Each structure stands twice: as structure tokens, then as C-alpha cells.
Chains A and B, each alone.
Chain A
Amino acid sequence: MSVYAALWRILPGPVWFRVILVLAILTGVIFVLFTWVFPWVDGIVNPIDVTVEQ
């Protein structure tokens, strides 16, 4: 057993309800990542250089 299995057990309600909950949580996590985390990370680790320079 592990983290995700534990998470699944913590979630309340019947299976169909837990599935909806998981999807909702995933959507929220992806929203936070796309809106704040990735723009921040991208500026630090992955500059895309397109110019010619010495």
C-alpha cells in the first residue's frame, strides 16, 4: 500500500463519488500548476534561446 491507495481510502462516499472527487482534485491541482507553478518554474529552469549571439 502506498500514498495514493491511502488517499483513496481517506476519500468518503461510494466509488462513483470518490471518482468524481479525484477528478475534481486533479483538475484543481492542474489549474494551480498551470496558473502559478509552471510559469514560475519555466522562468527559472528552461529559458528557450532563439536569437543568434556570441
Chain B
Amino acid sequence: MPTDAATPAPRRRRVGVVGVLGELLLTAGALVLLLLGWQLWWNDAITGAQQSAAASDLSSDWLEQARIDGDRGRAATDAATGAVDADGEPSIGTAAPSYGEAFAVMYVPRFGGESQRTIAEGTGLDVLNRVDLGVGHYEGTQMPGAVGNFAIAAHRSAYGGGMHEIEQLRLGDGIFIQTADAWYTYRFRDLEYVPPDTVGVLAPVPHHPELTPTDRIITLTSCNPLYSTAERIIAYGVLESWSPTSEGPPEEIAAAVSEWGR
């Protein structure tokens, strides 16, 4: 029923330029707020769920592959992949991954139940923002388990926020890195807050590029403070132990890992 046509508005004023301008500004303001909401919550939550699921898939693929290889005979596998060296050195993989290639999964129980993320080579936004990745490995830094510095970066408050809870890490917290070959258990040691150009944190011995490393450390970098990129927050950890993928996840996270992808 076109009631409008039947009863036209009694007073119809001309559309004022100022009124329209005001409405446009109000609309623009609402759009900016919507964009922020999208970036910090909606897209963050959706991307996080996708990244978590992708990491679960990759992790279970590696576990399954290790189980198949295990059925064929552990010795043959070890000889082929070099997963176990004679002197018990951690496997650090054979070839460096190419840019954007996923080669590890990070899981930090302190970050929460669905915080597992895939680590890929390179720290460009095309790696960090991808819905199937989320954590980037600084090119040129060491690989998981190696002597030196395994340095990685992730978002803190958008695009899945792979290191959202980084400031909550406590001394001794586990930082678990899974590759196709092995699990590496790092223990969180300390936090550091630095300006964004402090590349010294990526050195094999952080802040001392002239020193020869003897420790196997991990370095997590993200932005600080939360919702800002003014500074960087750095978390250091030290390798505690490692085990071949075929032995399954470390006991501490076995229950959590078995729930992934369910």
C-alpha cells in the first residue's frame, strides 16, 4: 500500500548542502569505526580460526607421515631424513625453505587452546597476513633446533594475532616448534621492548653479532604496545629438548595436540 503517495509530507524542505555534508561526515566516521572493528575483531577472529585450523592440518599430516615412515622401519627413515644424528644433535632439516613455504608449526600453551600457527619462510605481510600461515621466519636466521637464533614474527592484534598473548609469557613456559622431522621444546626466558629498527635481536647471539653462538635460542617478535606499532616486543627462549616427530608430540602438549582438528 503506497501510503506515502496518499499522504504527502506536509512540509518538504530543500536538501541542504550543510545537512548533506554533515551526513556524509557522520557516515565516514561510522565507516572508519566499522573498518577498525573489522580489522581488530572480525577479521582477526576469522583469520585466527583459519590459521589455527591450517596449522592443525599440517601438524597431523606430519604426524601421519611419521607414522607411515615408522611402519616402514625407523632406521630407514632416520637414514633418509637425518632425523637422528649419531651424536644426538637435533635435526635442523636439509634445505632452507623458499620464501612463503610452510616448514614448521608453533604452539605455545600460554597463548591459549587454539593458538597453533604455521611458520613459513619470510616476514613480509604476504606471509604474516595469510589465512593459512600467520608466523614468519626471519630469512637468514637459523632453523629450529640449530645453534644460534631461530627468529620469528607474528601479528599481535590483527590478522589472527599469532602472538596476541606474548606479554603474558612466564619464565619456563614451553614454546613448541614442530617440523616434518622433529619437535623442539624451547623454554621462555625473558622479554625485551625495543624500537622497531633493533635488528640486533635477530643476531645468533642477540645484540652481539660479533660473537659466535653456542646456545640454541628462539626469538619471537611482535608489535608493542597492543594495537600500536610504535615499539617491538621481543620474547627469548632456549632449546630444552627435541624428539623425532615419529615419537609423537611432547608429553606436555600431547593432550592438546590430539584435540587439534577435531
Contacts and interface: CB of A to CB of B under 8 A. Distances in A.
A23 to B, nearest CB: 15
B197 interface: yes
Contacts of A2: 15-16, 19-20, 22-23
A50 B19 contact: no
B197 A48 contact: no
Contacts of A34: 38, 42-43
Chain A contact residues (Cβ within 8 angstroms of B): what range? 20 to 34
Contact of B3 (A3, A6, A14, A41): A14
Given A1-B15, A13-B1, A14-B3, A50 B223 contact: yes
Interface stretch (B62-70, B151-159, B171-179): B151-159
Nearest to A53: B199
B16 A53 contact: no
State the majority secondary structure of interface residues on A: loop
A9 B9 CA distance: 9
Contacts of A48: 125, 155, 158-159, 223, 229
A16 interface: no
A52 interface: yes
Contacts, number: 87
Contacts of B201: 52
B136 A51 contact: yes
Interface in B15-43: 15-16, 19-20, 22-23, 31, 34-35, 38-39, 42-43
Nearest to B42: A34
B196 interface: yes
A39 B221 contact: no
B12 A1 contact: yes
A14 B13 CA distance: 22
A33 interface: yes
B49 interface: no
B146 interface: no
Given A39-B43, A42-B35, A42-B39, A52 B16 contact: no
Contacts of A12: 2, 4
Contacts of A52: 153, 194, 196-199, 201-202, 221, 232, 234
Interface of B: 1-4, 9, 12-16, 19-20, 22-23, 31, 34-35, 38-39, 42-43, 123, 125, 128, 136, 138, 153-156, 158-159, 194, 196-199, 201-202, 221-223, 229, 232, 234
Interface of A: 1-4, 6, 9, 12-14, 30, 33-34, 38-39, 41-42, 46-54
9 contacts: A1-B12, A6-B15, A34-B43, A42-B35, A50-B155, A51-B136, A51-B153, A52-B197, A53-B199
